[in-house]
Amino acid sequence: MLDVLARNEYGFSINFKNNNKFDIVEVTGLNPVSATINSSSIPDYVGSVFDNAYVGNRNIVISIAYNTYNADARQELNECFIPSIPIRLYIDDYFIDGYTESVDYNQFNKKMIIQISIICLYPYFSEKNDNIIKVSNIINLLEFPLNLPSVGVPFGELQDSTSTNISILGDIGTGCIIEAFFDENIDGFKVINTTHNQVVFVDKYFYPGQKLKIDTRFSKKSIILTDTNGNEIDILQYLDTSDINFIELEPNNNIIVFKDGYDSPIYNTDIYIYYTNKKGGL
């Protein structure tokens, strides 16, 4: 049995787990959404040629039965599921955002069944918790317990490049947030997914104390600079338009490399990558 919790943008929520007011009878629309495949026919060619494909909206329908029907239970349901209002469904370890389309029920049925229809414009499920990776070109060489010889030991070792391997556990590609905290002057900031040949290059000079935030997530793409006074500035105009990919982390392995505008390794910069695994269906 799936654990289901619903919360709308006003903060009203219903947790259907161990709920003495409602029982979930059925939930449909959790399977992977069907794709629409477009193709073209060519004379003297067997079959057709692929043009493009896309995945449409997801329609989740939750069927609920009242354990105890009363005005309070009905009001709780109506407050949470308001037609046209954004709703977030938490299902086990994943969530999905959508809009309540309809809430249908018949008060004159002996066993009242409520059907709630939710339209999800982005059809994929996201993990509840973000994954965070810190990227550094310094390898920590200290191990505990310490056994220090008289000549001393190095604290760390400097690599030739700043890179990391991100393994996506879901079956859907996902965007990410990249934050860079600069401790020295850097001319240009380049992020390369060498596994899938994707590049984001911010062609700007950065100074110590500044922070760069690159967001490549669906419908949230942005590049924000936080200056030394804490002011946030939109610097999307510094994005190199010769090769725009907005890094996408694909299922399985992704080798991510960070360089400056001259393709040299980046030093003295703390870099964090935030990402969420996604699934096409539950």
Sorting pLDDT into bands at 50, 70 and 90, what band is 156? very low
* Closest listed residue to residue 271, CA positions, set 161, 178, 187: 178
Phi, psi at residue 238, to the nearest 5°?
-90, 0
pLDDT tens digit sequence for 2-51 = 789 999 999 999 999 888 888 899 999 999 999 999 999 888 888 899 99
Whether the pLDDT of residue 271 is over 80: the answer is yes
Cβ proximity of 273 and 166 under 8 Å: yes
Burial letters 254-271, b for 16+ CB under 10 A, else e: bebbbbbbeeebbeebeb
Whether the pLDDT of residue 144 is over 80: the answer is no
Alpha-carbon distance 122 to 56, whole Å? Answer: 8
Taking residues 62-78, what's their average pLDDT?
84
Alpha-carbon distance 175 to 245, whole Å? Answer: 11
pLDDT of residue 194: 92
CA 140 to centroid of chain Cα atoms: 30
Kind and range of the H or E element at 77?
A: helix 71-80
Quick one: the chain helix, strand, coil %, rounded to 5?
Answer: 5, 50, 45
- Kindly report the average pLDDT of the chain as a whole number: 87
145 upstream amide cis, omega within 30 of 0: yes
> What are 70's two structure tokens?
């009363």
Alpha-carbon distance 194 to 113, whole Å? Answer: 52
Alpha-carbon distance 234 to 209, whole Å? Answer: 17
31 versus 152: the higher-pLDDT residue is 31
* Closest listed residue to residue 24, CA positions, set 14, 32, 33: 14
Whether the pLDDT of residue 154 is over 70: the answer is no
Question: Of 11-25, 110-124, 232-246, which gets the smallest average pLDDT?
Answer: 232-246
> What are 109's two structure tokens?
């049925």
Cβ proximity of 166 and 254 under 8 Å: yes
pLDDT of residue 160: 47
* Closest listed residue to residue 175, CA positions, set 108, 256, 113: 256
Whether the pLDDT of residue 236 is over 80: the answer is yes
Whether pTM exceeds 0.95? no
pLDDT tens digit sequence for 247-260 = 889 999 999 999 99
Sorting pLDDT into bands at 50, 70 and 90, what band is 162? confident
Phi, psi at residue 74, to the nearest 5°?
-65, -40
Alpha-carbon distance 272 to 269, whole Å? Answer: 10
